[in-house]
Amino acid sequence: MPSNGPRGLAVFAAPGRYVQGRGALSTLASELERLGVSAPLVLVDPAVREIASPAIAAVSGASVLEFRGECSPGEIERVAAAASENQADAIVGIGGGKTMDTAKAVAHPVKLPLVIVPTIASTDAPTSALSVVYDDDGAFLEYRFWSSNPHLVLLDTEVIAGAPVRFLVAGIGDGLSTWFEADASSTTRAPAMAGGAPLGAALNLARLCYDTLLADGVAARQAVERGVVTPALERVVEANTLLSGLGFESGGLAAAHSVHNGLTVLHETHDFWHGEKVAFGVISMLMLEGRPTETVDEVVDLCLDVGLPVTLADLGVDAEHADLQKVAEAACAEGETIHNLPFGVDPSMVVDAMLAADAYGQERRALRERTRPLPAVAA
């Protein structure tokens, strides 16, 4: 966990610069020049190498390395060795979450400027000072906390619009949690990941994130399904990436992410993405807190409209036979952010909240299906 500042201090952390829009990738060279970088090491996901190659070719003095697929200690070491060999003066990570996390883990220990170029909008990780490290087989190893956020986050919405829609939808699921978790944890002034209590700035960004997803989530999904860039897509990409990133890091996490972490103990949830499990974690959290029905309907309806899970079965979990006690115990483990809630939580409360969320999701879907058809949940 992050080290906490002296009691009572508030902290707000953010990347030095955030650039987003259609064609933003073509500004990579000039943005690097702006940072005074002349010999960056570019770590690129092979899946997006072709799309990124004109932008990379325009960067003079760059050395390019393809990411090997896992943010593991071995991969971090390999990329770090290449950076040192090429006397790189900055690290650029182009790709998804694991590429970005590896770039962070290479740049920070040697204090090189860090540039993050997300090619999907599936999580709120790009702006943060955090890497999730796995072993070579993809099993979770540890969080690594860094002392600063990226110098630059550069996001091309044309690239996002060209990626499979499930990425954007998962990002909406992750972004849905931000307001509720920051709202709940801020009442206790629990230190957020940034290392202090939240300021009003973080809470307001978290609220804007939620309002944006409610207003534009459906239109953004439709835009990516057609591969087009629209103002609604721009706003949702900003919500998924910048607003959610700043909101969670400086605003605080609570139960939704703990339920997510708990669900990962069930093998059957492994095919589902972070944001998809977080979405069900949000509904469970609303049940745990006893939030008003209108709020639950608002969240569940958005999930149904964009194709996010609202039941345990949507996540491949058999509500009757799965070991939900084990999920709840993991969600309540020491150090879990669920303990940032302003009341004590034990595993039996979490089991009940998940079952209540499941029942609510089933009934709401049945009701909605009688009125108009819904998009399928990704499988």
Shortest separation between residue 168's beta carbon and Zn ion, angstroms:
15
Does residue 238 interact with Zn ion by CB under 5 A? no
Shortest separation between residue 288's beta carbon and Zn ion, angstroms:
18
Shortest separation between residue 123's beta carbon and Zn ion, angstroms:
6
Rounded Cα distance between 14 and 317, Å, is 37
Residue 119 or 244 with smaller CB distance to Zn ion: 244
Rounded Cα distance between 227 and 222, Å, is 9
Please identify, among the stretches 91-99, 167-175, 205-213, 364-372, the one whose residues bind Zn ion according to the rule CB under 5 A: 167-175
| Amino acid, res. 359 | A
Nearest to 12 by CA among 199, 211, 244: 199
Q: Find the catalytic residue in 101, 124, 151, 274.
A: 274
Q: Find the catalytic residue in 260, 301, 314, 358.
A: 260
Shortest separation between residue 300's beta carbon and Zn ion, angstroms:
19
Q: Find the catalytic residue in 257, 301, 314, 358.
A: 257
Largest alpha-carbon pair distance within the chain?
63
Q: Are 324 and 315 in contact (CB under 8 A)?
A: no
Structure tokens of 337? 């952010």
Does residue 249 interact with Zn ion by CB under 5 A? no
Does residue 181 interact with Zn ion by CB under 5 A? no
Rounded Cα distance between 95 and 48, Å, is 7
Describe the crossing of helices 274-289 and 347-371 by its angle, rounded to 10 degrees.
110
Q: Are 331 and 338 in contact (CB under 8 A)?
A: yes
Residue 91 or 127 with smaller CB distance to Zn ion: 127
Residue 172 or 296 with smaller CB distance to Zn ion: 172
Shortest separation between residue 94's beta carbon and Zn ion, angstroms:
21
Residue 24 or 182 with smaller CB distance to Zn ion: 182
Q: Are 250 and 198 in contact (CB under 8 A)?
A: yes
For the question of residue 270 being annotated catalytic, the response is no
Residue 101 or 174 with smaller CB distance to Zn ion: 174
For the question of residue 358 being annotated catalytic, the response is no
**CB-side exposure of 356: number of CA atoms within 13 Å?**
18
For the question of residue 108 being annotated catalytic, the response is no
Cα 82 to Cα 105, 134, 205, 213: the distances in Å are 14, 20, 38, 40
Please identify, among the stretches 37-45, 168-176, 280-288, 314-322, the one whose residues bind Zn ion according to the rule CB under 5 A: 168-176
Does residue 174 interact with Zn ion by CB under 5 A? yes
78: Cβ–Cβ under 8 A, 6 or more apart, which residues?
Answer: 68
Question: Which residue minimizes CB distance to Zn ion?
Answer: 174
Q: How many residues bind Zn ion (CB under 5 A)?
A: 1
Please identify, among the stretches 7-15, 49-57, 133-141, 172-180, the one whose residues bind Zn ion according to the rule CB under 5 A: 172-180
Rounded Cα distance between 291 and 286, Å, is 5
**CB-side exposure of 266: number of CA atoms within 13 Å?**
26
* Contact characters 118-157, Zn ion, x per CB under 5 A: ----------------------------------------
Does residue 336 interact with Zn ion by CB under 5 A? no
Q: What residues make contact with Zn ion under the rule CB under 5 A?
A: 174
Residues assigned a catalytic role: 174, 257, 260, 274
